[in-house]
Amino acid sequence: MKRIQLYQDDITQLHVDAIVNAANKSLLGGGGVDGAIHRAAGPRLLEECRKLNGCETGEAKITQAYKLPCRFVIHTVGPVWYGGKIGEDELLASAYRNSLQIAKAKKLDTIAFPNISTGVYNFPKDRAAKIAFDTIQQFLAENEFPETVVFCVFDDENFHIYEKLILEKE
């Protein structure tokens, strides 16, 4: 099986080892994918998140998944897009890399990412996809775990961007 997979789905439905949450620094829930994950996981997820004291942009923290079908949730905070000149690219790469690092440390086989920062944080989708793809491809080349990474896109625009990228890079 290919180590990079593309799904167009609701990430809360995936039976993977870990899903990644595009959270905000408070880790206390929000809109978009964060809201969907908290709704599907149930209130115990928020209880655990309250004990984590937030998360810096580009960092990641892991919790249980409660009522979700996956085993863990890795919460990461992508950068808000302010035009690209204050380190947004590197912070986005860090959000992916630090999430992968947690999956590696726990020897997780499969991890699924949403399109971090491309919703209300307004990161340009094309640019975010290239960063996500390159960061993951490099990490997989250097590491045995995770075995498989899923790009779980939600909207059609991101689906077409990733489909094209994967065809080009394979």
In this chain, which of 120, 124, 160, 164 binds ligand ADP, going by CB under 6 A? 120
Does residue 118 touch ligand ADP according to CB under 6 A?
Answer: yes
Does residue 117 touch ligand ADP according to CB under 6 A?
Answer: yes
In this chain, which of 146, 158, 161, 165 binds ligand ADP, going by CB under 6 A? 158
CA dist 109 → 22, 48, 68, 148 (Å):
20, 23, 17, 6
Instruction: Describe the chain by its helix, strand, coil percentages, rounded to 5.
Output: 40, 20, 40
Residue with tokens 């491309």: 118
Q: At what angle do helices 125-142 and 88-105 cross, to 10 degrees?
A: 40
Does residue 110 touch ligand ADP according to CB under 6 A?
Answer: no
In this chain, which of 8, 32, 130, 138 binds ligand ADP, going by CB under 6 A? 32
65: phi > 0 → left, psi -120 to 50 → alpha, else beta; which? alpha
Residue 129, SS3?
Answer: helix
Does residue 162 touch ligand ADP according to CB under 6 A?
Answer: no
Give catalytic status of residue 109 as yes or no: no
Binding mask 56-95 for ligand ADP (x = CB under 6 A): ----------------------x-----------------
Binding site for ligand ADP (CB under 6 A): 10-12, 22, 32-34, 36, 78, 114-121, 152, 154-155, 158
